[in-house]
């Protein structure tokens, strides 16, 4: 008989503790509401603006990764710096990509949004061939722009710059010359 009494008292204590925790939480919420309803003075407004500008400066770059075939490009977009050029693997992009079509591929997302010369872009690209590297860079630049301003996503998506082209070379199978090319059959 005394065991049931002990169980009931412990249950009652637990219930009381829960109710006390709920009341404390309500008090904290009320205090927070009072703080936010307070009027902001002119000095505080200027300090808030300064903090926002410091945040922009501290966020020196926006980073994104672009891929195509076996090549991947790590892109850094510098919207708040004086650096306004496109550098790929520590070389100017016109030096790294000698063909005009590859250069045009890289410029495409910036040119379409009229950002060419407004942002600095630094890219580390590896793997694959030169053509797939240029497309990986384009994909990474487009992704970084979307991270900078999400309202530009629709335009870049319509242009096809945000689609990761998944086509990769199929592996070679044994007994075949390439992935599917069989050796020439001879009757005799």
The pLDDT value recorded for residue 18 is 77
The residue ranges of every structural domain in the chain are 58-159
Q: How crowded is residue 96: how many other Cβ atoms within 10 Å of its Cβ? A: 21
What is the CATH number assigned to the segment(s) 58-159? 3.30.230.10
**pLDDT profile of the chain (188 residues), mean per 10:** 58 76 65 54 58 56 93 93 89 94 94 90 94 95 93 93 92 96 93
The pLDDT value recorded for residue 135 is 95
Length of the chain: 188
Dig out the tokens for 95 from the structure: 């030096």
Q: Are 63 and 76 in contact (CB under 8 A)?
A: yes
pTM, 2 dp: 0.66
Dig out the tokens for 48 from the structure: 């808030």
For 5-11, the CB contacts below 8 A with 24+ separation are: none
The pLDDT value recorded for residue 84 is 86
Q: What angle, 0 to 180 degrees and rounded to 10, lies between the N-to-C axes of helices 130-148 and 100-112?
A: 10
């Amino acid at each position: 008989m005394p065991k049931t009494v002990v169980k009931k008292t412990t249950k009652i204590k637990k219930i009381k503790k829960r109710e006390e925790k709920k009341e404390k939480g309500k008090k904290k919420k009320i205090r927070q509401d009072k703080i936010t309803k307070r009027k902001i003075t002119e000095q505080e407004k200027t300090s808030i603006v300064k903090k926002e500008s410091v945040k922009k400066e501290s966020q020196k770059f926006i980073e994104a990764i672009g891929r195509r075939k076996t090549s991947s490009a790590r892109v850094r977009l510098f919207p708040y710096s004086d650096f306004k050029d496109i550098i790929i693997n520590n070389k100017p992009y016109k030096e790294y990509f000698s063909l005009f079509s590859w250069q045009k591929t890289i410029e495409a997302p910036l040119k379409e949004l009229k950002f060419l010369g407004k942002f600095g872009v630094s890219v580390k690209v590896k793997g694959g061939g030169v053509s797939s590297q240029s497309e990986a860079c384009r994909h990474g630049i487009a992704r970084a722009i979307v991270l900078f301003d999400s309202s530009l996503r629709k335009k870049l998506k319509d242009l096809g710059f945000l689609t990761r082209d998944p086509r990769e070379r199929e592996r070679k199978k044994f007994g075949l010359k390439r992935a599917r090319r069989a050796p020439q059959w001879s009757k005799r």
